[in-house]
Structure 1
Amino acid sequence: MNTAANSVFQSMRRRLALWYAIVTAILLIVFATGFYLYVQTTLIDRIDDTIDHVAEVIERSLIRSNLIDLESDFSHNFSANAQAIDADHIDIDWFAPSGEILWTTNSNVESLQPREKGILQPVYRTVHLAEIEPLRQMTEPIVINGKLLGYLRIRHPWFEVTKPIKQLFLDLAIGTTLMVFVVLLCGWWLAGIAMEPVRESYQRLKQFTADASHELRNPIAVIQTNVQVALADPDPAIPRSQLETIERITRRLGRLIEDLLFLARHDGGSNNHRQDICNLSQILSEVMEEQAAIAQQKQIDLELMLPSSDLSVVGDRDRLGRLFTNLVSNAIAYTPTGGKVQVATQPLTSQNQVQIQVHDTGIGIPETELSQIFERFYRYQSSKNSKPSSKSKSANPATSGSGLGLAIAQAIAESHQGKIKADSKVGQGTTFTVSLPMSCIHF
């Protein structure tokens, strides 16, 4: 398999593996995010449950005290448990209905916020105090027998949430990254297995095309030779027009077989071309001379613009000639009468390349169709009529071209380590740009 075809399969394999890894990564991220939020919510609920339990114990204590000497009762009720409360890192503050602090287990007390006065339900929030770790805080109004006795505030350290959550985030990030990497490797391996039948089928198809084209060359040549002999010495019993039709069809079929064989060899990597120093200026001049008669019939102006010094490229002279013949003949075929076809060359010294542009004043191609014009047998059909009226891969629809002209041009350019692209505007014309490596030798 040649380098171009192998590159296509490798690109497909990479895309399959990448998509497999992306889908798996998305699923893993969704799962990890859900698990992270679940654990975070569970830890917060645990702290809130602890705060609720402490609040419930305090409320029961107040009820048992019969509402006598609240400050004394608080000291009495919590002095025995102060050590346990401190060990649990839980702080308790008791505020008067006016918001004044009455009792606390913490020397660094934050006053009751104005928005916390007059609340009817417990309010939970996370607070960040200067030089102190974040705290989970609950402020609750204490109402007994319809009378507001004050506000109870209970604080619990937030590190019991932040510490395990940070560790969980790190573990999930590392685990997900490693899993995506493993999935990418597995996807690459599975994509290779999946692509193998396609690769084998592609190889068999190329071999079949090459064999069929090769086997058809001889019978077509025999038919054409016999028809030409019959035309040279015509038989009155056989109409000459029929012989001419057969000769024209066999000639067209012969060109099609040659084109298919060329593309099959290109796909199979067996189309090694000669590596000679070619005078590009001379090749273009010869191509323009060959196409001059056809252009003259359609009253199309041919113009060749060459630099002051001849340019040279390394490659196969015949194939380069065929490349530009296909482009120029294609431009002539789809340029209306009285139009113009211009071929211009420009050396790109900084890139060590030479650029050749074939521009016509034809009807052009819609931008949506440009990506398909180099596909084999693709022919753009104009919406104005049923006949092909725009660029196609054939040289001329009037001669029922095979639709392989531009595909062959692209194959020749790529085999010379070059590139070809097309730019077009409907109603203004089309420009084909060929870039080829430039030889250091100048003629």
Structure 2
Amino acid sequence: MFQATRRRLALWYTAVTAVLLLLFASGVYLYVRSTLIERIDDTLNHVVEVVERSLIIEAVNSDFGQSRINIDATFRDNTDTAEDDHIDLEWFSPTGELLWSTLSQPLNIPLHANRTGETVKVLRNQDKSIQNFEYSSTPPLLLRQVTERVQVGRQVLGYLRVSHPWFEVTKPSRELIVDLALSFGLMLFSVAASGWFLSGKAMEPVHESYQRLKQFTADASHELRSPITLIQTNVQVALSELELSEADSSIPSHYRQQLKVVERLTQRLGKLVNDLLFLARQDSGISKESFSPCPVDALLMEVVEEQQLLATEKKITFSLDLIDPPVCETDPELLDNWFTVVGNWDQLVRLFTNLIGNALQYTPSGGCVNLELARVEATNRVSGLRSNSTHLLFKVNDTGIGIPAEALPRLFDRFYRVDPARTHTAKSIATQSATGSGLGLAIAQAIVENHQGQIYVESALGSGTTVTVTLPVTFDS
């Protein structure tokens, strides 16, 4: 229980920290990326301003105020070689015709003015034959561009387009992602280790208090057994003496009735103490019960025989169905031990007695209680069973008063009893249910977990209850 709580604490601590780290890493990535883009856009706009100031404008027709750009004097010759990491310039006529470029190949992309910067994708070597695999497999080129309309007055002299390789954003971004991912993984591992350590430290006082409480429960239960037994013995002796002295008129008649009440209460208190002692021993792990092969079918027949009297008194249809092995199974040793599990006989008797007793107690007269025992192989895909294992599946189904849906999650809590007033059934059944201590199902769950099995309860108010128990034929030590 404490290990599961410790794992949940460490997991929550790690999950919350992981979310915070992820948000922080995302913020850092977006900030760095936007800073890189902003820096490139500033560089492109600065180049545009420098080129605009260096443009040589010549008058063409002074009468009409016509001017043009002297391209030869303004721009240097194209070297026909372009590095991937430098800024490229393109000059276009007012009609959009490319007149000069530092690029070895035209980009062949639409021309439009844009001072804010945009990212474009260019298919490189697109003038080559598409049948050439070397060219067709070349990845596209990404560029960041700024396009400026150059004009004098209202006359457009041309368009200047400045391009910058986009990999100066993508390459640092990829490197940053790798660095952030490595840092995130290292930090998450450190946080998980720290969370596990800190959760263990936080659970230590709780664990010590719980151990003390369990020890107190075990000690108190053990110490109470002797005086309770002594009281019960003295009451029985007093009742015996009253029976021998019935002719003595000096003894009040109500003494016998009072002593019988004391005997019943002492028996109930003794049962409660035994239940508490059993649970305390299971919790502390000091239980010394031995495990051996137990034929569950024979065990169930004994329990059914013991409970048959109550079923007959309440006129309840009581049946046990043992599911036979398949016809294809011919191994005689396996057939002889078809319903055998490794377990503790006394604990299993207590388990099935509690479950069957509850079913009979909460089923009204004329109802039905059906028991079923089957051997389930792993190929049956029964929900909740471990893979590659064989289990015994026990079901007890009754047509009793049922359990409200809101009570099912707390059904296995100690000292928890469903409020009988919610059932709106006969008062006699409600009166019977009030005599329980609320430890029966908690003990059943402890026994099932001690045998590495599982227990489920399905119920609806007014439509009966089905309890399913799965017990592994063999379990891990």
Q: Contact 1:358 / 1:432 at 8 angstroms: preserved in 2? A: yes
Distance 1:9 1:43 in 2: 50
Which whole-Å deviations, capped at 9, do the CAs of 1:87-141 have from their partners, x for residues lacking one? 9721111222221222222231234626x2xx5x525211121236311111122
Per the TM alignment, residue 416 of structure 1 is displaced from its structure 2 partner at its CA by 2.5
* Aligned partner (choices 107, 110, 128) of residue 110 of structure 1: 107
Per the TM alignment, residue 81 of structure 1 is displaced from its structure 2 partner at its CA by 11
Q: Contact 1:100 / 1:112 at 8 angstroms: preserved in 2? A: no
Q: Contact 1:210 / 1:264 at 8 angstroms: preserved in 2? A: yes
Per the TM alignment, residue 281 of structure 1 is displaced from its structure 2 partner at its CA by 2.2
Residues 197-208 of structure 1: pairs in structure 2 closer than 5 A: 197-208=205-216
Per the TM alignment, residue 316 of structure 1 is displaced from its structure 2 partner at its CA by 2.6
Per the TM alignment, residue 302 of structure 1 is displaced from its structure 2 partner at its CA by 1.0
Normalised by the size of structure 1, how large is the TM-score? 0.87
Equivalent residue, structure 1, for 2:368: 340
Sort the Cα spacing of 1:48 and 1:438 in 2 relative to 1 into closer, same or farther, 3 A: closer
2:458 matches 1:423:
yes
* Aligned partner (choices 348, 358, 361) of residue 396 of structure 2: 358
2:91 matches 1:94:
yes
Deviates more, 1:143-152 or 1:335-344: 143-152
Which whole-Å deviations, capped at 9, do the CAs of 1:204-261 have from their partners, x for residues lacking one? 0100100111111112122222222222233426533222221111111111000000
Residues 68-147 of structure 1: pairs in structure 2 closer than 5 A: 73-79=70-76, 89-111=86-108, 113=110, 116=112, 119=113, 122=115, 124-131=117-124, 133-147=141-155
2:357 matches 1:329:
yes
Sort the Cα spacing of 1:46 and 1:260 in 2 relative to 1 into closer, same or farther, 3 A: same
* Aligned partner (choices 441, 452, 456) of residue 406 of structure 1: 441
**Which consecutive unaligned segments of at least 5 residues does structure 1 have?**
1-7
Structure with greater helix share of residues: 1
Residues 116-265 of structure 1: pairs in structure 2 closer than 5 A: 116=112, 119=113, 122=115, 124-131=117-124, 133-234=141-242, 235-236=251-252, 238-265=254-281
Equivalent residue, structure 1, for 2:28: 35
2:54 matches 1:61:
yes
Letter in 1 for 2:143: L
Distance 1:295 1:14 in 2: 46
The structure showing larger relative contact order (alpha-carbon pairs under 8 Å, at least 6 residues apart) is 1
Distance 1:243 1:409 in 2: 33
* Aligned partner (choices 272, 281, 289) of residue 273 of structure 1: 289
Q: Secondary structure at the match of 1:233?
A: helix
Deviates more, 1:182-191 or 1:368-377: 368-377
Per the TM alignment, residue 180 of structure 1 is displaced from its structure 2 partner at its CA by 0.6
Q: Secondary structure at the match of 1:154?
A: strand
Per the TM alignment, residue 52 of structure 1 is displaced from its structure 2 partner at its CA by 0.4
Sort the Cα spacing of 1:429 and 1:129 in 2 relative to 1 into closer, same or farther, 3 A: same
Per the TM alignment, residue 364 of structure 1 is displaced from its structure 2 partner at its CA by 2.1
Distance 1:86 1:323 in 2: 82
Q: Secondary structure at the match of 1:160?
A: helix
Sort the Cα spacing of 1:137 and 1:179 in 2 relative to 1 into closer, same or farther, 3 A: same
Q: Secondary structure at the match of 1:20?
A: helix
Per the TM alignment, residue 35 of structure 1 is displaced from its structure 2 partner at its CA by 0.8
Q: Secondary structure at the match of 2:351?
A: helix
Q: Secondary structure at the match of 1:364?
A: coil
Per the TM alignment, residue 39 of structure 1 is displaced from its structure 2 partner at its CA by 1.0
Aligned residues: 423
Letter in 1 for 2:392: V
Equivalent residue, structure 2, for 1:5: none
Sort the Cα spacing of 1:327 and 1:112 in 2 relative to 1 into closer, same or farther, 3 A: closer
Residues 2-17 of structure 1: pairs in structure 2 closer than 5 A: 8-17=1-10
Runs of 4+ in 1 over 6 A off after TM superposition: 80-83, 85-88, 386-389
Q: Contact 1:20 / 1:184 at 8 angstroms: preserved in 2? A: yes
Normalised by the size of structure 2, how large is the TM-score? 0.81
Equivalent residue, structure 2, for 1:287: 303
Distance 1:34 1:299 in 2: 73
Sort the Cα spacing of 1:342 and 1:73 in 2 relative to 1 into closer, same or farther, 3 A: same
Distance 1:272 1:367 in 2: 37
Deviates more, 1:304-313 or 1:278-287: 304-313
Sort the Cα spacing of 1:244 and 1:86 in 2 relative to 1 into closer, same or farther, 3 A: closer
Percent identity over the alignment is 50
Q: Contact 2:57 / 2:68 at 8 angstroms: preserved in 1? A: no
Distance 1:248 1:430 in 2: 30
Per the TM alignment, residue 272 of structure 1 is displaced from its structure 2 partner at its CA by 2.2
Distance 2:170 2:59 in 1: 39
Q: Contact 1:71 / 1:102 at 8 angstroms: preserved in 2? A: no
Which whole-Å deviations, capped at 9, do the CAs of 1:293-339 have from their partners, x for residues lacking one? 22222221111223566733333322221111100110011112210
Q: Contact 1:99 / 1:112 at 8 angstroms: preserved in 2? A: no
**Which consecutive unaligned segments of at least 5 residues does structure 2 have?**
61-65, 125-139, 243-250, 325-335, 379-388
Distance 2:50 2:59 in 1: 15
Sort the Cα spacing of 1:246 and 1:165 in 2 relative to 1 into closer, same or farther, 3 A: same
Q: Contact 2:67 / 2:157 at 8 angstroms: preserved in 1? A: no
Per the TM alignment, residue 380 of structure 1 is displaced from its structure 2 partner at its CA by 2.1
Sort the Cα spacing of 1:221 and 1:166 in 2 relative to 1 into closer, same or farther, 3 A: same
Q: Secondary structure at the match of 1:299?
A: coil
Q: Contact 2:78 / 2:102 at 8 angstroms: preserved in 1? A: no
Residues 291-302 of structure 1: pairs in structure 2 closer than 5 A: 291-302=307-318
Equivalent residue, structure 1, for 2:339: 311
Distance 1:140 1:280 in 2: 90
Deviates more, 1:264-273 or 1:233-242: 233-242
